[in-house]
Amino acid sequence: MSSRRGDYQRSAVYRWEAEHVHPKDTGTVPFDQAQAIVDYVWARAGLIYPPKIRELARTARRTTANADRRTISIPATGVSATVLLHEIAHSMTTDAASGRSHAHGPRFVGALIKLLCDLIPTFSLDALMVSARQEGIEFNFDGPIHLRAIGSSGTSASGCVATAMSHSPSGRRLSENENAAEIGPEIEILTVNGSFTPF
């Protein structure tokens, strides 16, 4: 997990998102719709026990949102879809028992890239991987660290498997068992009156 090198990619990930991710998302997910979206994304990944949406403390000045395995805190005014997916990726890569997190490390970035590509049609796996490498960001597609629902085989509904390798910015392969990324079918997110609803 992240303890070996700390949250060494945090600033780079925030810069990458500011340039390549957040500009493509102009809507707001209302607070009262966020839990349904989290539940949908969690179930779609074949996971059980989704995190619960909580209101971010009104005194928070430097934080847009935050997450651990059990909760995702967002402002009462809502949050962008890309920020919500960022926090879902944190929940997916944090251990409930120990609270240890992959922070903004390779596993987190891979989970975020997959969520963005699966859930928002304007994102491309290839483009996000290229831009992450250009920004010096390490990523892999090891996926969530949680229990899957009974009967979930870990394959996508369509059975699609991408041959994206896990790479460091230099292009070297990160480990021998990271040879393929499981990429599910594209899920449309419809923007309706400034909010998005998964179907």
Average pLDDT of span 102-106: 89
For 65-100, the pLDDT digits (tens) are 999 889 999 999 999 999 999 999 999 998 877 767
- Tokens 């209302």 sit at which residue? 30
What pLDDT, on a 0 to 100 scale, did the predictor assign at position 193? 31
pLDDT band at 5 (very low <50, low <70, confident <90, very high): low
Distance separating alpha carbons of residues 194 and 123, to the nearest angstrom: 19
> Could you tell me if 83 and 100 are in contact, meaning their C-beta atoms sit under 8 angstroms apart?
no
What pLDDT, on a 0 to 100 scale, did the predictor assign at position 182? 30
Question: Which strand (E) or helix (H) includes residue 52?
Answer: strand 52-55
Which position has the higher pLDDT, 146 or 96? 96
For 171-185, the pLDDT digits (tens) are 443 333 332 233 233
pTM of the prediction? 0.72
